Amino acid sequence: METAVAISLTLFILTGLCAGQGLFPQGSVNGAEGGTAMFITNLIPPAQPFITISWTVGGANIITSTSDDSIGPGYGDRITLNKTTGSLELRNLTLADSGGYRVAITTATAETINGSTELVVYENISDANITGPPNHLFADWSSANLTCEAAGNITTIQWMKEGQPLSAGGNILFSEENRKVSISPVKRHDSGEYVCKLTNPASSATASYRMIVNYGPESMTILGQNIAEVESFTLIYCSVQSVPPATFTWLFNGQQTGVHEAGYIISSVSYNNSGDYRCDARNDLTGNVISVDHSLSVKGTENISSINCGEITIHFKKTIEVLCINILQTILEVNVNAFCMLFRNKKGNNEEKGKRKT
């Protein structure tokens, strides 16, 4: 046990002698202004306490710890020294704390362990903000610059769109050390939430911006049936792609209807609803208007007459082809029995044009 400690101490003395930095990990210690820095040595607490531990920055005393402690000005309530490892905690950092730090330790066996490291204090990043284009953007036509600004020490800036890293290429170009994203021309799929993440080794901040690319209206279709039963509920729906959403105007046989929704609803269809419908969709920002036509025929459901086939009654309903039914009916009434027999034979196939069974 005691030999193990002696061997590791010897190793530390050697590394301290050779490199002067072996006490600390490679690279600098990073701290945030107002935050805390830890200078952690890799010493294993020795069996016998160190005789002296002395920390300096740029040659000025921070703490010299022997039988009592001598603390440099400005460090009184900012430091904690771990006397078994020589590690130092420095709190409430200011930018002026940046510099080269050295520790010199004298062991119980009167050997010296020296180490040095560098502290870099970064201003916290604050007030992050993205500035976007002041005007409306139009797909395939406008260009946009998004600029990410913040206060503090910024070492890297990364951009994300809808949570995914944004990369250069195509219509996207980064400049000013990633501070600026230029999108030229904007495409409709460039709409979305942009986030810039600014970082330094001690802090980070994000800002976000919602970009809207206007387009359309386009890809317009009318959804809905062309034949409606009288007294049924009927919806004709005008589907269109547009940003901002299109405003609609419905015309019926060339006349204004006063309907300005995407859906044209007839809660109970009448015969006089048969005709030509037209949906006009307008994008108020692009100023574009497109139209689609749709025809609707209303089919009746009232019984015109019925034929009694004994166990079954066949009802004739009014349809668009009323005349046709009347002729059929007249023919059938002449020979009801033949019709009923025919009907019974075809019972499996019970739907026929212009008539229904009950």
| Residues in contact with ligand NAG by the rule CB under 6 A | 17, 32-35, 82, 84-85, 87, 92, 94, 102, 104, 112, 114, 120, 122-124, 127, 129, 131, 133, 143, 145, 153, 175, 180, 182, 203, 270, 272, 303, 306, 315, 356, 358
Q: How far is CA 28 from the centre of its chain?
A: 36
Give the nearer residue to ligand NAG in terms of CB position, either 120 or 222: 120
How is 65-84 classified by DSSP, letter by letter? ESSSEEE-TT-TTTEEE-TT
Give the nearer residue to ligand NAG in terms of CB position, either 171 or 247: 171
What is the nearest approach in angstroms of ligand NAG to the Cβ of residue 154?
A: 9
Q: Among all chains, which residue has been given the structure tokens 């930095």? A: 21
CB 57 within 8 A of CB 71: no
Give the nearer residue to ligand NAG in terms of CB position, either 107 or 203: 203
What is the nearest approach in angstroms of ligand NAG to the Cβ of residue 245?
A: 25
Give the nearer residue to ligand NAG in terms of CB position, either 193 or 221: 193
Position of minimal CB gap to ligand NAG = 34
What is the nearest approach in angstroms of ligand NAG to the Cβ of residue 342?
A: 20
How is 104-168 classified by DSSP, letter by letter? EEE-TTS-EEEEEEEEEEEPPPEEEEEE--SS-EETTT--EEEEEEEES---EEEEEETTEE---
| Three-state secondary-structure class, residue 99 | strand
What is the nearest approach in angstroms of ligand NAG to the Cβ of residue 220?
A: 26
What is the nearest approach in angstroms of ligand NAG to the Cβ of residue 137?
A: 9
Quote the CA–CA distance of 221 and 214 in Å, as a whole number.
Answer: 20
